[in-house]
Structure 1
Amino acid sequence: MEKVLIYDTTLRDGSQGENISFSSDEMLSIAKRLDQIGVHYIEGGWPGSNARDARFFELAAREGFVNARITAFGSTRKPFTEAADDRNLQALIDSRAPAVAIVGKSWTLHVEQIMENTREENLAMIRDSITLMKDHGREVIYDAEHFFDGYREDAAYALETVTAAARSGADAVILCDTNGGTLPFDIETVFDQVRRSLAAQDLPVRLGIHAHNDCGLAVANSIAAVRTGATIVQGTINGYGERCGNADLITIIPILNLKMGRASIPDDRLAQLKILSRFVSETANLVPLNSRPFVGRSAFAHKGGLHVNAIMKAPRAYEHIDPARVGNKRRVLMSDLGGKSNVVYKAKELGVELGCNGLDCQRIATEIKTLEDQGYQFDVADGSMKILLQKFTEQFKPLFELQSFRVTVEKNQSQPCTAQATIKIAVDGNDEITAAEGDGPVSALDNALRKALAKFYPGLEAMRLVDFKVRVIDGREGTAARVRVFIESRDHNDIWSTIGVSEDIIEASWHALADSFQYKLAKQQEQTEG
């Protein structure tokens, strides 16, 4: 079957999502990652609309893209003007992008009421704009905006617009579900009719799909289009985009390759999908979605004891693919729903030698359930889980010990709160006392502990805290209620989570913070010794 080409529009359509904004340098970094993974088209933005996008094309022109064609986006010429005089079309030419995407109107509502145009002039705008781009030697991808809504109201005119594009030399026609309201079976019906219509006119143009996610069906609609003849799929990394987002290429690509047997990016690049997803999330400054299919942290996480027992015998009992195929990994969660199977698997996953018989493993599982009853939640704290298992099996060797700490918070009338922390720790019998300031008590403790440990353990500057959450476990006790503190930390290679529980929020924070540093130092020591 024909290869499905992947057209990424993260840098243009994805950046229209709420709270997403990329600089031109960030756009270039993302484009390089997309090229490495084997994406076929990278839509870099609308060079005629803003200086940032124009700057991106300047930067991209200096780079050597191996797999992808950089694509500039723009609209058809303005009504009743010459295409050669249209400033936006000239910006597409000036971008030096080898491919251009021209968006035009398919829906009479937009042609007549929104643009206050005529149907005939709209068709002329499509023809003239594509012809100009072809005259300048560009590959032209025509985006038929609002095509499915337009087809629903006036099928004959919607077909006229894509026929005009194909006859004018468009290399591909993309049918867009711009409002995201079309259902998969309607996508298949309309796609098949368009394909038949173009074939009957001897117009063998590539067809593609551009789906928005307003009904939660962007991925399903894209797959439906492929089943009916689409050989180009447009979408964004992580499904970012305006309103509810676009079709998520991170989900679509493995479905094509692994589920449908349709080649898209090379199979050996699939294992880079998780890294790519995380990279774009980090660049967009958005928290990765744990439940994201294929690459999410929870995509192959197992919590129930029966499930864990089954995957120990045959992983495919509860996993539809091998997580390693997409760069992910299996995770077993410790909770009050698990049993000794969870303990055994989790210890193996974390590299802790249990050396216990079934009875001992059951005892560990029971003690973990007791701690969970007190407010701990180990399914979100692998770092603390590893330390706890090491303590249960007397393998834990603390790399520092707390002697004492003191935290003070000061509030002046016209100034925000400031915090100071003094801490005393011991490392191999040597005491160290340091003090530091921070934006809050936990920040001050973090800074003071780093300062104290730096004397004994270099390399901690790569570690940083990326998330801090506090949850009141049971509010009936008011200010004396137990709280759970969750901390997520990361370095250049790893992300880990730790937890602390106490009636005192500072003490709970300390336990989570200390576990995070113990985990990092132990890992650093293992790498040094290895």
Structure 2
Amino acid sequence: MPTSVKIFDTTLRDGTQGEGISLSVEDKIKIARKLDELGVHYIEGGWPGSNSKDIEFFDRVRDMKFANAKITAFGSTRRKDIRAEDDINLNRLIDSGVKVATIFGKSWDFHVHTAIQTTLEENLAMIYDSVRYLKSKGLEVIYDAEHFFDGFKNNSDYALQTIRKAQDAGADWIVLCDTNGGSLPGEISSIVKAVKENISTPVGIHAHNDCELGVANSLAAVQAGAGQVQGTINGYGERCGNANLSSIIPNLQLKLHYNVISEAQLASLTQVSRYVSEIANSHMPVNQPYVGNAAFAHKGGIHVSAILKDASTYEHIAPELVGNKQRVLVSELAGQSNVLVKAQELNLDFANEPQKTKEIIEKIKDLEHQGYQFEGADASLELLLRETFEGLEEIFTLESFKMIVEKTANRAVVSEAIVKVKVHGETIYTAAEGNGPVNALDNALRKALLQYYPDIQQAHLTDYKVRVLDEKDATAGKVRVLMETTDFNHSWNTLGVSSNIIEASWYALVDSLRYALLGRTRVEPAAREQQERLGLVNH
């Protein structure tokens, strides 16, 4: 059994076949760089015989240096009834400039007859000729035995013949594919063992996730003797996706103790996983194992009380090993331990305030009953805790705001907000237009505060979400608004709840700006005017 396992990443090829996943050439190059830093051994860049985008990718990476990974090109065996030397797709693999080619061929007799409609003998010749031709050009050849497990279960003799042909032609790796994703770990294990008894070429596994077993099947294959695992970051891929390398890599290294990547590279796994998610513009599930935002999040009071004593009571590994971190959530399920942990994070001394701790827990529970949810709004929670235990300077108070939304036959919708607030005893009356009512409200409030707090111009809204809480009440239902704001150094989330979406947005906006101004120095209007005259402040 191998002591190390090679990782073959196909995010840039198989991953892009997933619904909603589309990568530009520039995106693919960025991800390839990040995968190389992670330490994967093979990066499958695409199919140069299928589209111009992949051809451009291989042209651009031809002269790039990669520290850890070999760039591979993907294709199929030659077409039936022609010579390998005359096959356009095989020649494009050679012309792509890669040192490694991955080609797939048929292992299931049903597919030979139905999909490519040829004889079993011709299919064997297609496999042998294609591998032999690529090897004659000096390439490392990985042969993907498509539908191998289904083929083996239906006709094991023929399935084994196909991979023996690849071996005879000189394939460097033979990868067994569970293409339909319908096999179980026990089947995978027994079939891999049978293959290892029949061929001497190193074996790999390529699993799909149609039964939610892509990771389990990949691990079973390795334990049965496979030395290469193919998969994608975050499990992207066709139908239900491919085996998820973001889970496979730490499972192999931390649980099964194989040599896969370095400890430092493993510690970058969470960052790489989230980076790929951002580039792919794909929502990353918070509960994704190892790398998800909630993978090491604790909500129940009993759980939090235990992790305060020893984190291993409710964490199967130290989150830092994969670059993640422990989070304690404060909600209606919170106990005193949750609030104490949150206080420690904020450097607040709650130890001598047991009564206030109980009060804040009850207040949080009451707010969550109204529809607030602080798990995703740490900034609003911090403001609530600081108000209770430290007291916060009241930066401004609302006197009134008015929204005007006008639509005429010849003009686009125009939104205007009129805001009247009191800032340090002075009443400020401002108006501003915006791209929608919330943006107009944001602009008007900033306009009122800017003369006192010029630093506020650094913070800007980056995300805005609305959730209807009482769906049965339709448009009259209560809504929760979640806002994300950034000042280029870090981001924070705030929330507001109301039966009126504008009021809910106002609450979230107020918290956002209050949080942005924590610790900021107030500038008197007269001093600001002098700074502007001297050119020290941007208008």
TM-score (structure 1 length as normaliser): 0.92
Q: In structure 2, what is the equivalent of residue 508 of structure 1? A: 504
- Tell me the distance in 1 between the aligned counterparts of 2:471 and 2:155: 59
Q: In structure 1, what is the equivalent of residue 155 of structure 2? A: 154
After the TM superposition, which of the residue ranges 515-524 and 131-140 deviates more from structure 2?
Answer: 515-524
- CA pair 35-467 structure 1, distance change in 2 beyond 3 A: farther
Task: Measure how far apart 1:443 and its partner are.
Answer: 2.8
Task: Measure how far apart 1:144 and its partner are.
Answer: 0.6
After the TM superposition, which of the residue ranges 398-407 and 386-395 deviates more from structure 2?
Answer: 398-407
Q: Is the 8 A contact 2:395 2:423 kept in 1?
A: yes
Q: In structure 1, what is the equivalent of residue 96 of structure 2? A: 95
One-letter amino acid of the counterpart of residue 60, structure 2:
L
After the TM superposition, which of the residue ranges 17-26 and 457-466 deviates more from structure 2?
Answer: 457-466
After the TM superposition, which of the residue ranges 367-376 and 149-158 deviates more from structure 2?
Answer: 367-376
1:65-112 alpha-carbon deviations (Å, 9 max, x no partner): 111000111111111111111111111111111211011111111111
- CA pair 246-451 structure 1, distance change in 2 beyond 3 A: farther
Task: Measure how far apart 1:120 and its partner are.
Answer: 1.2
- CA pair 252-462 structure 1, distance change in 2 beyond 3 A: farther
Q: In structure 2, what is the equivalent of residue 528 of structure 1? A: none
1:124-149 alpha-carbon deviations (Å, 9 max, x no partner): 11111111211111111111111111
Q: Is the 8 A contact 1:41 1:71 kept in 2?
A: yes
Match of 2:174, SS state, is strand
Pick the aligned partner of 1:314 from 310, 334, 342: 310
Q: In structure 1, what is the equivalent of residue 408 of structure 2? A: 412
Match of 1:420, SS state, is strand
Task: Measure how far apart 1:63 and its partner are.
Answer: 1.7
After the TM superposition, which of the residue ranges 229-238 and 81-90 deviates more from structure 2?
Answer: 81-90
Task: Measure how far apart 1:457 and its partner are.
Answer: 3.6
After the TM superposition, which of the residue ranges 492-501 and 187-196 deviates more from structure 2?
Answer: 492-501
One-letter amino acid of the counterpart of residue 462, structure 2:
L
Q: Is the 8 A contact 2:371 2:469 kept in 1?
A: no
- CA pair 436-59 structure 1, distance change in 2 beyond 3 A: farther
Q: Is the 8 A contact 2:147 2:180 kept in 1?
A: yes
Q: In structure 2, what is the equivalent of residue 466 of structure 1? A: 463
Q: In structure 1, what is the equivalent of residue 208 of structure 2? A: 212
Task: Measure how far apart 1:328 and its partner are.
Answer: 1.2
Q: In structure 1, what is the equivalent of residue 21 of structure 2? A: 20
- Is structure 2 residue 441 aligned with structure 1 residue 445? yes
Match of 1:44, SS state, is strand
Task: Measure how far apart 1:380 and its partner are.
Answer: 2.2
Matches within 5 A, 1:131-210: 131-198=132-199, 203=200, 205-210=201-206
Q: Is the 8 A contact 1:464 1:491 kept in 2?
A: no
Matches within 5 A, 1:10-409: 10-198=11-199, 203=200, 205-354=201-350, 356-397=352-393, 402=398, 404-409=400-405
Task: Measure how far apart 1:480 and its partner are.
Answer: 5.5
Task: Measure how far apart 1:459 and its partner are.
Answer: 7.6
1:284-332 alpha-carbon deviations (Å, 9 max, x no partner): 1111110100111111111111111111111111111111111111111
- CA pair 401-231 structure 1, distance change in 2 beyond 3 A: farther
- Tell me the distance in 2 between the aligned counterparts of 1:357 and 1:279: 41
Match of 2:518, SS state, is helix
- Tell me the distance in 2 between the aligned counterparts of 1:505 and 1:179: 46
Task: Measure how far apart 1:243 and its partner are.
Answer: 0.4
- Tell me the distance in 1 between the aligned counterparts of 2:50 and 2:459: 39
Q: Is the 8 A contact 1:58 1:95 kept in 2?
A: yes
- CA pair 23-454 structure 1, distance change in 2 beyond 3 A: farther
Task: Measure how far apart 1:490 and its partner are.
Answer: 4.5
Q: Which has the larger radius of gyration?
A: 2
One-letter amino acid of the counterpart of residue 237, structure 1:
I
1:449-474 alpha-carbon deviations (Å, 9 max, x no partner): 45665664448557442241232348
One-letter amino acid of the counterpart of residue 332, structure 1:
V
One-letter amino acid of the counterpart of residue 333, structure 1:
L
- CA pair 152-410 structure 1, distance change in 2 beyond 3 A: same
- CA pair 490-39 structure 1, distance change in 2 beyond 3 A: farther
Q: What's the C-alpha RMSD, in Å, of the aligned pairs?
A: 2.3
- CA pair 286-352 structure 1, distance change in 2 beyond 3 A: farther
Q: Is the 8 A contact 1:107 1:146 kept in 2?
A: yes
- Tell me the distance in 2 between the aligned counterparts of 1:45 and 1:450: 48
Match of 2:287, SS state, is coil
Task: Measure how far apart 1:494 and its partner are.
Answer: 3.8
Q: Is the 8 A contact 1:399 1:522 kept in 2?
A: no
After the TM superposition, which of the residue ranges 395-404 and 380-389 deviates more from structure 2?
Answer: 395-404
- Tell me the distance in 1 between the aligned counterparts of 2:457 and 2:163: 58
Q: Is the 8 A contact 2:481 2:501 kept in 1?
A: yes
One-letter amino acid of the counterpart of residue 27, structure 2:
E
- Tell me the distance in 1 between the aligned counterparts of 2:42 and 2:520: 40
Match of 1:166, SS state, is helix
- Is structure 2 residue 485 aligned with structure 1 residue 484? no
One-letter amino acid of the counterpart of residue 20, structure 2:
N
- CA pair 448-282 structure 1, distance change in 2 beyond 3 A: farther
Match of 1:522, SS state, is coil
Identity, % of aligned positions = 51
Q: Is the 8 A contact 2:179 2:206 kept in 1?
A: yes
- Tell me the distance in 1 between the aligned counterparts of 2:290 and 2:123: 42
Task: Measure how far apart 1:349 and its partner are.
Answer: 2.6
1:487-519 alpha-carbon deviations (Å, 9 max, x no partner): 234565544321112232211111112222333
- CA pair 463-155 structure 1, distance change in 2 beyond 3 A: farther
Task: Measure how far apart 1:429 and its partner are.
Answer: 6.7
One-letter amino acid of the counterpart of residue 63, structure 2:
R
1:187-210 alpha-carbon deviations (Å, 9 max, x no partner): 001000001111xxxx3x211111
Match of 1:392, SS state, is helix
- Tell me the distance in 2 between the aligned counterparts of 1:306 and 1:24: 49
- CA pair 120-31 structure 1, distance change in 2 beyond 3 A: same
What are the ranges of 5 or more consecutive residues in structure 2 without an aligned counterpart?
522-539
1:366-422 alpha-carbon deviations (Å, 9 max, x no partner): 222122222221122111101110111134345565554332212234766442224
- Is structure 2 residue 8 aligned with structure 1 residue 3? no
Match of 2:157, SS state, is helix
Task: Measure how far apart 1:3 and its partner are.
Answer: 1.0
How many residues matched? 519
1:155-187 alpha-carbon deviations (Å, 9 max, x no partner): 111111111111111111110000000000000
What are the ranges of 5 or more consecutive residues in structure 1 without an aligned counterpart?
526-530
TM-score (structure 2 length as normaliser): 0.90
- CA pair 161-432 structure 1, distance change in 2 beyond 3 A: farther
